Amino acid sequence: MAIQIKVPTVGESITEVTIANWLKKDGDVVKLDEVIAELESDKATFELTAPSAGVLKIIKQQGETVPIGGLLCEVEPSGATAASPAPAQPAAPPAAAPAAQAPAEPKKAGGVKEMKVPTVGESITEVTISTWLKKDGDLVKLDEVIAEVESDKATFELPAEATGILRIVAKEKTTLPIGGLICRIEITDGAAASNGAAATQPAVATAAVAGDKTYAAGHPSPTAAKILDEKGIPANQVSGTGVGGRITQTDAQNAQKAQAPAATAGKPAETKAPLAPPVIASGGGRNVRNEKMTSLRKTIAKRLVSVKNETAMLTTFNEVDMKPVMDLRSKYKDQFKEKYGVGLGFMSFFTKAVCAALKEFPAVNASINGDEIIYHDYCDVSIAVSTPRGLVVPVIRNAEALSFNQIESEVVRLATKGRDGKLSIEEMTGGTFSITNGGVFGSMLSTPILNPPQSAILGMHNIVERPVVKNGEIVIRPIMYVALSYDHRIVDGRESVSFLVRVKEMMEDPGRLILGV
């Protein structure tokens, strides 16, 4: 009775495996514990052994994915056949003599093996044929490396899946999807192939006995070459154990150990002084602590990541000469404070300039809702406030209708509530445009991130005196860089640049803010 061989349990989280390679063919005689196939999971590759001697009957073909417990093949016990496969061997020498006199092409066994791109990684969807190591029409042997294939993560070797004549389908530099056809192998009679090769190329046969060296001898695979480069070891100093003498990854990894004795051969052993222990500063703490993220911090992180993934965010920059605003502020700040009980800062100037520019460029004040764009006829300006618990953005409602003192009062009120943790949900939702001031912390330039669902945010920065050209003369001016980040799905480049230029013009001529022109 045939013995069924099923996919064994290979790991707690592994539910299926892929048949990477059948090392025996259907109908072959196998021995007890002989390796008959290689199986791949998403974590490792392992060998499948025969549980009994007998004749192999393959159920699942190479490349198929089989669940744990699925039937792979059967072994039909055959004592006579399994015990005596050797008597067929003596018949080969008599057939070799006539073949030596008349070279013949390898005899086709009638089958064609199609080689397709194997699954090489969970996230890899395509590969590129880097180099063909064999030519079209060449005779190849089972498991002989015939090509090098590249993915976006690694380079690997492609072994022949049968013995026969190679028919190349995908040329070099061709990109194929996983499962795409690479080549075909016209399966030949192995005995005839070996006899024909022995008759036509006795020198090659002799070399094969000595170690099967070919033109690949001494040449590293791409992975091996990288390892040797990192170690600084020339390829000609490494012995290859791969097919045809090729230097494999294992050869490269072991090369350093192999080279050490060769470098010191014939020389007396030198006693090296022990390495000094690592220097560790005394008294320096190396403590690590874990703190759970607050709900606010988790919400901020989630929203910021979604903005990067869901918007076409872009940033444009400009510079503002702050001297006119600074002069006006210095002239009237005392009277302003005395009359309204609040200081005159730069935020009110920028808020008024932004509101005027938003009226001219409504797309900057809009947002996306599904397949619709929502335009706002009012300006609810969100101001970024740094608090001990994280960044919050309370909203100044109808900022376009507020005076300078009303804006400054709202800024103080919202910032104070934010730092005290007393802001309500209503005070932090519904903004149509945001302003953030990294200049208070010394930032010179930044690319502020959008505050969804808004389509734009203005970034203010520190004021630094720089030489600039005014009326053909080089003068020193207090300059601030400003940045506008915007969602390119709504706001075009022309609108974003024009918006920022308009803010610049109003800040450099604050009289326009007062007169509304």
Q: How far apart are CA 119 and CA 42, in angstroms?
A: 10
Q: What is the mean pLDDT of residues 129-144?
A: 89
**Maximum average pLDDT range among 130-134, 199-203, 365-369:** 365-369
User: Comparing 69-78, 183-192, 227-236, which segment has the lowest mean pLDDT?
Assistant: 183-192
Structure tokens that stand for 427 in this block: 């005070």
Q: Do domains 3-83 and 101-200 have the same CATH topology?
A: yes
Q: How confident is the model at residue 441 (pLDDT cuts 50, 70, 90)?
A: confident
Residue 207 has pLDDT above 60, yes or no: no
Three-state DSSP at 494 gives: helix
Q: What is the pLDDT of residue 225?
A: 76
- CATH class of domain segment(s) 211-258: few secondary structures
CA distances to 23, 169, 183, 195 from 109, in Å: 18, 21, 18, 15
Residue 498 amino acid letter = S
pLDDT tens digits for 306-343? 888 888 999 999 999 999 999 999 999 999 999 999 99
Angle at the Cα of 30 (from 28 to 31), degrees rounded to 5?
165
Three-state DSSP at 353 gives: helix
Residues 6+ apart with CB under 8 A from 158: 115, 145, 146, 147, 148, 149, 182
Q: What is the mean pLDDT of residues 138-166?
A: 85
The 8 Å CB, 24+ separation contacts for 450-453 are 450/307, 450/311, 450/313, 450/485, 450/486, 450/487, 451/307, 451/382, 451/393, 452/303, 452/306, 452/307, 452/310, 452/311, 453/367, 453/368, 453/369
The domain ranges of the chain are 3-83, 101-200, 211-258, 295-515
Q: Which residues are catalytic?
A: 488, 492
Alpha-helical segments (H) within 317-432: 323-340, 346-360, 404-420
User: Can the peptide bond before residue 277 be classed as cis, meaning omega within 30 degrees of 0?
Assistant: no
Q: How confident is the model at residue 257 (pLDDT cuts 50, 70, 90)?
A: very low
- CATH class of domain segment(s) 101-200: mainly beta
The string of DSSP codes covering 172-204 is TT-EEETT-EEEEEEEE-HHHHHHHHHHH-HHH
Q: What is the pLDDT of residue 189?
A: 61
pLDDT tens digits for 463-488? 999 999 988 999 999 999 999 999 99
Residue 127 has pLDDT above 90, yes or no: no
Looking only at the bridges linking them, the beta strands covering 155-159 and 181-188 are unpaired
pLDDT tens digits for 47-76? 888 888 889 999 998 888 888 888 999 988
CA distances to 108, 332, 472, 494, 502 from 505, in Å: 83, 21, 19, 16, 5
pLDDT tens digits for 80-115? 443 444 444 444 444 444 444 444 445 455 688 899
Q: What is the pLDDT of residue 32?
A: 85
DSSP 8-state assignment for residue 437 = E
**pLDDT, the chain, mean:** 80
If one looks up domain 295-515 in CATH, what number appears?
3.30.559.10
- CATH class of domain segment(s) 3-83: mainly beta
Asked whether the CA dihedral 191, 195, 198, 201 is positive or negative, the reply is: negative
Task: Using the structure block, give the residue that is written with the tokens 């039937």.
Answer: 71
Closest CA relative to residue 69, chosen from 9, 144, 140, 27: 9
Three-state DSSP at 111 gives: strand
Q: Residue 310 phi/psi, 5° resolution?
A: -110, -5
Residue 126 has pLDDT above 80, yes or no: yes
pLDDT tens digits for 378-428? 999 999 888 777 778 899 999 999 999 999 999 999 988 888 888 887 888
Residue 452 has pLDDT above 50, yes or no: yes
Three-state DSSP at 265 gives: coil
pLDDT tens digits for 259-306? 444 444 455 555 666 777 777 666 667 788 888 877 667 777 888 888
| Beta-bridge mates of residue 468 | 475
Residue 358 has pLDDT above 60, yes or no: yes
Q: How far apart are CA 217 and CA 53, in angstroms?
A: 37
